[in-house]
Amino acid sequence: MTGCGSGSKSSATAGAADRPQAAATQAYSPQETYMTEAGAVNGESAYTGMEADGGMAYDRMADRYQNAYGGEYMNSEEYHGVAESGFKKVEEHPLSTFSVDVDTASYSNIRRMITRGEEIPQDAVRIEEMINYFKYDYKKPEGDIPFAVTSELSDCPWNPEHQLMLIGMQAKEIDFDNRPMSNLVFLLDVSGSMYDEDKLPLVQKSFSMLTDELTENDRVSIVTYAGYEQVVLEGARGDEKVKIREALEGLNAGGSTAGEAGINMAYEMAEKYFIPGGNNRMILATDGDLNVGVSSEEGLTKLIEEKRKGGVHLSVLGFGTGNIKDNKMEALADNGDGNYAYIDNLMEAKKVLVEEMGGTLLTVAKDVKIQTEFNPSQIAGYRLIGYENRALADEDFDDDSVDAGEIGAGHRVTALYEIIRAGTKVPGEVLKYQSGEKEQKETEEQTGGAFENELMTVNIRYKAPNGKESRLISVPVKDETYQKEMTDNLKFAGAVAEFGMLLKDSSYKGNSSYENVIDLVSGVSQKGMDDYKDEFKKLVLQVMD
């Protein structure tokens, strides 16, 4: 079922005739009816444009390519390659430092591939994004601190000699009726590559859903880009819903992709209607296929780093299949004080833009960094699962000039460590003359006493949404955190991590199996499940078949 990718970018090439055919109906997206002024979407399943005879938008796209160019449809999706992180010895690396990541694009993109029977490039699997797609039952924040920290520890499902540590952060909710005024700029890719049903038409329906949630206190501008950039709507009130929808419905796809020019114009609109103390955000909808002007990952990173200084946040929404430039969209979001989601169907659009609107659009903390300090008298080694492309140098933790991720209202952030207790061998290179026994004994003696019951301390730095100086939270994790029976949080997050390692064919998957993933999810109580978690279980079963 899984494919592989290597190098700095992963891409797959397939002829339409060779692609596996998906089932006529899709059973793996939560089904329900969503009403808008424009009409109803009755349980629209998975991929907009799917026909009753089993035909897919993907197939129609391939046919159009063949008709127009007389050749095979080429899958040119690109993913940024990152080496998987391994185990580290605490005596050599007592600190683990990384930026938070609230992106969820990897999971919904993988869901699309599985449902369509496609191979999954290993570089498309970012385990932290898969885990963070789901909700968990964490402690709620109190007082002025924008989030609360939860820690849980039990035995590791895929390696009984190790333990699995969960660090969870729950951001505070914001009463939507009392939310700050929003200045939103919809930056929409209307180039020729956005023609298909799961691209611009899905973009139009998705942003129509978001329009339903806006009020007279909000301002909306729409900028499009293809061969040239254009302001389609400027400074409309959020309650001018017909006006906004008419602007959306009038869009058509065609031309090249001058993303740089569109980004510049969108930031100009955001600055023109900037609301001091408000929510100023650009929402980019694209397949990431930028081909005019600045279009490389490096060039886009530099462009967006300069633009973010003005206080305008960025949300990136990926659409479509076949030519997704995931690497470029991720680079834009990571460097633009933003978040990145992949919209593969209307139900996902509802999740991101309606159900989780606060998290997508309203920032409660920015430049959020985590630094975990391990106690060598208790922990011999550890491995952070995922977050490879969010790693920071240890010295960056205290440096307020170093950019990091943002957390939106109601967001949950989860990090998993596979840890090795003191006295157990840490996997890795064995040195002939350095046994490490003497060093471990010395560190055990040095860190005994007052801290001997502490496994680690989780340190978190963050800034207020408009702040310049960071604040520090420190949470010690004690030995009594361990529970033989895994919590619902740990069972489900562990199941998702194990599934991701199987898809990546991870060197650290140990005794992982799809059967074990199903067993973990099946062990979650009914209270700990929801429609999206049920969908995950069905996806795993589909991979097993």
CATH of the domain at 351: 3.40.50.410
Do residues 371 and 496 share a domain? yes
Do residues 342 and 456 share a domain? no
In 116-258, which residue ranges form alpha helices assigned H by DSSP?
A: 127-132, 200-212, 241-249
Query: Is 114:126 a contact under the CB 8 Å cutoff?
Result: no
> Is the confidence at residue 340, as pLDDT, over 80?
yes
Do residues 256 and 184 share a domain? yes
Give domain status of residue 272, yes or no.
Answer: yes
Domain that holds residue 536: 88-174+364-424+452-544
Give domain status of residue 438, yes or no.
Answer: no
- Cα distance between residue 261 and residue 273, in whole Å: 19
> Is the confidence at residue 538, as pLDDT, over 70?
yes
Query: Is 456:126 a contact under the CB 8 Å cutoff?
Result: no
Query: Is 359:121 a contact under the CB 8 Å cutoff?
Result: no
Tens-digit pLDDT profile for residues 448-467: 556 779 999 999 999 999 89
Position 448 scores a pLDDT of: 54
Give domain status of residue 83, yes or no.
Answer: no
Do residues 182 and 250 share a domain? yes
- Cα distance between residue 128 and residue 413, in whole Å: 9
Do residues 164 and 241 share a domain? no
**400 burial via Cβ count (<10 Å: 0-12, 13-18, 19+):** middle
Give domain status of residue 30, yes or no.
Answer: no
Do residues 184 and 330 share a domain? yes
Do residues 371 and 501 share a domain? yes
Give domain status of residue 7, yes or no.
Answer: no
Do residues 115 and 196 share a domain? no
Place of tokens 């499902």: 157
Give domain status of residue 38, yes or no.
Answer: no
Q: Which of 338, 361, 384 is the last residue of a domain?
A: 361
Position 405 scores a pLDDT of: 95
Position 466 scores a pLDDT of: 87
What CATH number did the domain enclosing 521 receive? 2.60.40.1230
Q: Which of 344, 361, 378 is the last residue of a domain?
A: 361
For 445, residues 6+ apart whose C-beta sits below 8 A from its C-beta are: none
Helix (H) or strand (E) holding 517: helix 514-522
Range among 19-33, 149-163, 172-186, 248-262 with highest mean pLDDT value? 149-163
On average, the pLDDT of the chain sits at 85
> Is the confidence at residue 31, as pLDDT, over 50?
no
Q: How confident is the model at residue 134 (pLDDT cuts 50, 70, 90)?
A: very high
Q: Which of 312, 345, 361 is the last residue of a domain?
A: 361
Query: Is 332:95 a contact under the CB 8 Å cutoff?
Result: no
Position 66 scores a pLDDT of: 40
Arithmetic mean of pLDDT, 198-219:
97
Angle of helix 105-115 versus helix 531-544 axis, rounded to 10:
50
Do residues 349 and 378 share a domain? no
Do residues 289 and 349 share a domain? yes
